[in-house]
Amino acid sequence: MRIVRSSTLMCILFVLSAVVMSQISPKPVKQRNKLAASIERGKKVYADQCLTCHQADGLGVQNMNPPLVKTKWVLGDKKQLIEIVLKGKKDGVEIDGDSYSNVMASHADLTDLQIADVLTYVRNSFGNKAKAITEAEVKTVRAKLK
Amino acid sequence: MNLQLGRLLGCVLLLSSVSFYACAGDTTSVNKHNSADDVVLKLPEGFTAKVFAEGLGHTRHIAVNTNGDVYVKLSNLKDGKGIYRLRDTNGDGIADNITGFGNIKGTGIAIKNGYLYFSSDEEVFRYKLDGNNNIINPDKPEKIVTGLLSRHEHEAKAIALDNSGNLYVNIGAYSNACQVSDRQKGSPGMKPCPILDSAAGIWKFSADKLNQTYGDGVRYATGLRNVVGLNWNTATNSLFVMQHGRDQLHDLFPNLYDAKQSAELPAECMYELHQGSNCGWPYIYYDEFQHKKILAPEYGGDGKITAGEDAQDPVYAFPGHLAPNGLLFYTGNQFPQKYKNGAFIAFHGSWNRAPEPQKGYLVAFLPFKDGKPSGDWEIFADNFSGSPELTASGRAKHRPCGLAQGPDGSIYVTDDSKGTVWKISYIAK
């Protein structure tokens, strides 16, 4: 009886652990890989499209190009951030009392995936930590702009 | 034994102090360091720099009155004030009486005929100075020029005055290269460029008439993308300007320019202007390696085709993107003879060289003879950034902006990052 019980218990534990393994553990790994892949792709888009103005460290240029580090513009509303990339920005921004006046061109020529990747990279680099932006989210914002 | 030890210790101390002085004297002159800041400027032998004032915020241009009072213009208000007067009452080379006034932010400032002129990004004002060199009515400046364009790019209105009652104002282009859509890859250049009618040049106004607008002035020179450093050269009796050259050749035309070429091109040019001067922007840029005016890629250029036959050549071409923000012709008697009538240029430092290392954050000197450059440029004051690494990364601690000469022949340099003002003097005889 004891043996049966313990084996039943073992069984339950095994099934439970299998359930746990399949339901919880593999998903974060998959998500993490997905996030890492998006950041990796986004880094290339950043180097190609953003680095000249916002600089390699994301800190921008005094009076001209705003920093991307720990600002609500980057870490806040995803829709607003996606819109800036799609439409560009011509009226400057003010961050912590400093104004940044340079014109940002529209980057609507990038694909939804490229925009999702570069924003995910920016939101998870230079000391930033924020949720990824998905291709679907970019697609939704782009559709509404048309 | 004790005596021997003492002698030994003395010897070691003496040696270490000797080596300290040898080290210190070895590079260039050592500055008396009177600041909390750890940045020490590098200067040629015989020169010394003192921190005249610091912590003033975004100090842009600077003017010195005949009595030695120093005025700095701020592009952001500090404690609600847009101009600070720095007065050194005991003559130790450090400002000990600092007063702020006015609530207008901007870049330009100059003193002429008993008036202190200054600019916002849209207007030019002046204050009358009284017999004791104090500002009359600090809350009520006279408005000299109004309604100038300021559209989120190259908005600073740098000013200069000649000796015939004229005021010269830079109105920078609100654009990088006059594309239909600014800084947009694939967007063509507009021809004719509509910006040239009201910006991208130097406008001349009367220094004494109130409330002038575009219609009261004349477009003195055109085809200048943006000028921050400009000054009247009393030796040639003409206006000299330093142009900020265009950006982003590689970003916009990756098939024509690689990142390195884009970091080097185009040159930052010095021009001598006269009524009607045309310096060629946006249709051309100056390539200091080919020594040619090159057709801008937005107008069909490929990096080799020359153009701009109607545009004048620069007086001198400096490396690309260093951002010349201050220009001063030295007329003092304190510095050695080689500096007489030569040009000092404050290079604010680059950003558009990325991903290549950034450069600049220095004061350059260009010797002049008979009104023309008589040799190559050299670095006069360096290490405003704090280190070679901070220069390369563009995270300079200080960024030189304004230049002025004091009545004793010393020169002053402002920094618009942290608001430090240095006084540089020649002490070796």
- Classify B74 as helix, strand or coil: strand
Q: Give chain B positions within 8 Å (CB) of A61.
A: 351, 394
Same domain? B25 vs B75: no
- Whether B355 sits inside 8 A of A103 (CB atoms) is no
- Whether A106 sits inside 8 A of B184 (CB atoms) is yes
pLDDT digits (tens, 9 = 90+) for A5-62: 555 655 565 555 555 555 555 557 777 799 999 999 999 999 999 999 999 999 999 8
Distance from CA of B176 to the nearest CA of A (A): 9
Same domain? B418 vs B353: yes
- Whether A57 sits inside 8 A of B181 (CB atoms) is no
Task: Give the Cα separation of B53 and B28 in Å (integer).
Answer: 23
User: For residue A26, what pLDDT is reported?
Assistant: 55
User: For residue B15, what pLDDT is reported?
Assistant: 37
pLDDT digits (tens, 9 = 90+) for B320-372: 999 999 999 999 999 999 999 999 999 999 999 999 999 999 999 999 999 99
User: For residue A14, what pLDDT is reported?
Assistant: 57
Q: Give chain B positions within 8 Å (CB) of A51.
A: 354-355
Same domain? B8 vs B124: no
Same domain? B13 vs B69: no
Give the nearest chain B residue to A50 (CA atoms). Answer: B251
Same domain? B344 vs B251: yes
> Which residues of chain B are at the A interface, by a Cβ-Cβ cutoff of 8 Å?
58, 75-76, 152-153, 155, 176, 181-186, 247-248, 250-251, 351-352, 354-355, 393-395, 399, 416-417
Q: Give chain B positions within 8 Å (CB) of A64.
A: 351
Same domain? B159 vs B278: yes
A109: contact with B, CB 8 A cutoff: yes
CA angle (B12, B15, B17) in 5-degree steps: 110
| Residue range of the domain that includes B348 | 31-426
Q: Give chain A positions within 8 Å (CB) of B248.
A: 52
pLDDT tier, B428 (very low <50, low <70, confident <90, very high otherwise): confident
User: For residue A23, what pLDDT is reported?
Assistant: 52
Hey, what CATH class is A32-145 in? mainly alpha
Same domain? B17 vs B37: no
Task: Give the Cα separation of B186 and B220 in Å (integer).
Answer: 32
Q: Count other C-beta atoms under 10 Å from residue B138's C-beta.
A: 16
Could you give the maximum distance between any two Cα atoms of chain A, in Å?
79
User: Crossing angle for the helix pair A78-87 and A112-123, nearest 10 degrees?
Assistant: 120
What is the mean pLDDT of the segment spanning A84-101? 91
Task: Give the Cα separation of B28 and B12 in Å (integer).
Answer: 26
- Whether B395 sits inside 8 A of A98 (CB atoms) is no
Same domain? B23 vs B55: no
Strands (E), B88-176: 97-101, 109-112, 115-119, 124-128, 142-145, 159-161, 166-171
Total domains in chain B come to 2
Of B101, A110, A31, B110, the residue nearest A119 (C-alpha): A110
Q: Give chain B positions within 8 Å (CB) of A104.
A: 183
A97: contact with B, CB 8 A cutoff: yes
- Whether A105 sits inside 8 A of B182 (CB atoms) is yes
- Whether A62 sits inside 8 A of B183 (CB atoms) is no
Same domain? B347 vs B413: yes
Task: Give the Cα separation of B205 and B186 in Å (integer).
Answer: 38
- Whether B183 sits inside 8 A of A103 (CB atoms) is yes
pLDDT digits (tens, 9 = 90+) for B251-282: 999 999 999 999 999 999 999 999 999 999 99
Is B5 or B195 the better-scoring residue by pLDDT?
Answer: B195
Q: Count other C-beta atoms under 10 Å from residue B422's C-beta.
A: 26
Same domain? B17 vs B42: no
Query: Is a pLDDT exceeding 90 seen at residue A97?
Result: no
Q: Give chain A positions within 8 Å (CB) of B120.
A: none
Same domain? B331 vs B295: yes
Cβ contact B277:B238 at 8 Å: no
Same domain? B22 vs B48: no
Residue given tokens 């870490």 in the structure block: A75
User: For residue B3, what pLDDT is reported?
Assistant: 41
Residues contacting residue A123 through CB under 8 Å, at least 6 positions apart: A74, A75, A129, A130, A131, A132, A133
